[in-house]
Structure 1
Amino acid sequence: MLFGAYLGQNHAVTIFTRRHEQAQKINELGISLFIKEAEEKVIAADARFGDSGITDQDILIIAVKQYDLPQLISLLRSVPTAIPLCFIQNGMGHLELLNTLPQETILVSTVEHGAKRLDDRTVSHNGVGQMNLSVYKGNYDMEERFPKSYDPRFPICFHEEYRTIMTKKLMANALINPLTVIFQVKNGRLVDNPYYYELLKLMFEEIYSIFPLGDKEVLFNSIIGICKNTKQNTSSMLKDIQEGRKTEIDAILGYILKVAERKGAKVKAIQMAYVMVKGIEQERR
């Protein structure tokens, strides 16, 4: 709904929903966008229950959780190969799945915004970040062809190399999501509480030993910046726990543990965080 609200201000957007009731509400009342709980905008959108009309789009943005992707693969394979697909899942475990799709163009994206769905047609934009977009497969002029957002609160940044942006987001997710679940706190507390901060640094060191991506200090500071920018946000993983849903811990820390095993790296803090989140998830579910 966040993408629909911002892109829908300049484009005809279709939202494909899992429930008829949600499609009906969006069609009748539009998408309600709350910006930091102060400003409200209502954006008209065409909402459809199921996949009716999914093959008639200029581009498809797939916004489901990573663990739900396997259920969509057969549907996505039926989409004409000329229609670009854009995936915005957390983690990197789904990249192998994308290799099985026949589409000529596949895009991947990371999203730094803080957003929360309030009801079937209302989304609150709590932390302004940016969307990072890159081509995973095919030839695609992103600046020319990707839908535009002219609102400065929804910037879209284009990158030539997908692995860099996805690894950076993976690292941020691997630190912020599990730790907010373990300590049951909002994002900003990971920086404000010196003991939480120490564990954040320890886990960062372990992850960086597996993914030595550029300047270590710059990368760590960028993750701290995300914590501060979204300090009042409840992380997506903590929201999943609070609402009794499955988390993406396997797609995030699980993926890192698999890479660490292949490289023969010892990552005890990551292993501990993974097991703790899995235990909390089982208790809450």
Structure 2
Amino acid sequence: MRIVIVGSGSIGMLMAFYLSKKGHNITLLTNRDEQAFRLKDKGLHIIHHDQQIEVVTVHAQTLLTYTNEESIDVAIVAVKSYQVEQVLTTLQELNVKSILFTQNGMGHTDLFPKVEKEELSVAVIEHGALRINDYTVHHTGVGQLRWSYVRKKDNDVQVMFGNREDSLFPIQYEQNWLKMLERKLIVNACINPLTALLRVKNGELVENQHHKRMLRAVFNDVMEVLKFEHHEELWVHLCEICQRTALNRSSMLSDIEHNRQTEIDSILGYLMKKADQEQYQSNLLTFLYHSVKSQEEF
């Protein structure tokens, strides 16, 4: 299959590697010419959790210069949530059969009615990944890639992922895309703001008892907003992700450290709007939201 991945950060590179291993024709669309050149020149490197290194060959060029003469089976949008609208404008003009979104938070779901393609799907990534340089990604923690159709036509995404199990990159189909995204939103809303404010890796949220109590307080507030059942099951799930990605610096922490815009609006901003609709006042989420916003320097 011909697959284009828009966004060459840690998640885009991780997906490019494992989909290339499945035999697909992969093109990574980068923001900079320099990164595209290095990916073509050196290949895409992955450092596994056991420190073994593998290299695959991928195509790469910048999004601004990309044109496709042949149909693209699946376009994977792996950019930040606040970049989706701009990327979507470009993709609408290309010959793309199916689009898969991988963003944190849920702010990007407001754009779904504008997507003109007949097949649309979403994915949540529970793997730990760290971009080392322009052509290397470190797979720091094996988790799940969960995905679901928002609307379905030719089953292109299911064909892309295939049926063969990969113990290093397990894939799980979910029936309910909204519940799947809300479940991941719980994880994002609890881990990202706290790691950004405390300047700690994911694992420290459960290893340090004071941090763990803060994590539980945020979790309880998020659950009140989303009105989820099975609280304890989801709490265990959240703690397991912290442990599985213990060495990871969350994307929000990395953004703060590098003076970049965060995805706080798509995560806590989305929850605060939902809380307003439910007439629920969350002082804790409001505090976290403005604490992160105050540290954004971009």
TM-score interval, smaller chain? over 0.9
Contact 2:223–2:231 (Cα < 8 Å) also in 1: yes
Give the one of 220, 231, 236 matched to 1:221. Answer: 236
Q: Residue type of the partner of 2:20?
A: G
TM-score normalised by the chain length of structure 1: 0.94
CA distance in 1, matches of 2:278, 2:176: 23
CA distance in 2, matches of 1:144, 1:274: 36
Give the one of 227, 231, 238 matched to 2:253. Answer: 238
1:23 aligned residue:
36
The number of equivalent residue pairs is 282
1:4 aligned residue:
16
1:110 aligned residue:
124
Relative to structure 1, is the Cα distance of residues 143 and 92 closer, same or farther in structure 2, using a 3 angstrom cutoff?
Answer: closer
Contact 1:114–1:233 (Cα < 8 Å) also in 2: yes
Relative to structure 1, is the Cα distance of residues 217 and 97 closer, same or farther in structure 2, using a 3 angstrom cutoff?
Answer: same
Report the CA distance between 1:164 and its aligned residue: 1.2
Q: Residue type of the partner of 1:112?
A: E
Quote the sequence identity (%).
Answer: 34
Residue 222 (structure 2) pairs with residue 207 (structure 1): yes
What's the CA shift string for 1:196-236, capped at 9, x where partnerless? 11111111111111112231100111001101111111111
What's the CA shift string for 1:144-193, capped at 9, x where partnerless? 52333753111111011101110011010000000001111111111111
State the secondary structure of the residue aligned to 1:207: helix
Residue 284 (structure 2) pairs with residue 272 (structure 1): no
Contact 1:76–1:101 (Cα < 8 Å) also in 2: no
Relative to structure 1, is the Cα distance of residues 144 and 199 closer, same or farther in structure 2, using a 3 angstrom cutoff?
Answer: closer
Greater displacement, 210-219 / 50-59: 50-59
CA RMSD of aligned residues (A): 1.6
Structure 1: runs of 5+ lacking an equivalent: none
Report the CA distance between 1:141 and its aligned residue: 3.4
Contact 1:131–1:157 (Cα < 8 Å) also in 2: yes
State the secondary structure of the residue aligned to 2:55: strand
Contact 2:72–2:95 (Cα < 8 Å) also in 1: no
Residue 199 (structure 2) pairs with residue 187 (structure 1): no
Report the CA distance between 1:72 and its aligned residue: 1.5
Report the CA distance between 1:14 and its aligned residue: 1.0
CA distance in 1, matches of 2:173, 2:284: 33
What's the CA shift string for 1:242-270, capped at 9, x where partnerless? 11111001110010000001110021111
CA distance in 1, matches of 2:161, 2:243: 29
Q: How does 1:147-162 map to 2 (within 5 A)?
A: 147-148=161-162, 150-162=165-177
TM-score normalised by the chain length of structure 2: 0.90
Report the CA distance between 1:49 and its aligned residue: 2.1
CA distance in 2, matches of 1:179, 1:142: 37
What's the CA shift string for 1:103-126, capped at 9, x where partnerless? 000010100011111111101100
Relative to structure 1, is the Cα distance of residues 142 and 47 closer, same or farther in structure 2, using a 3 angstrom cutoff?
Answer: closer
Structure 2: runs of 5+ lacking an equivalent: 1-12
Report the CA distance between 1:17 and its aligned residue: 1.3
State the secondary structure of the residue aligned to 1:280: coil
Q: Residue type of the partner of 1:190?
A: L
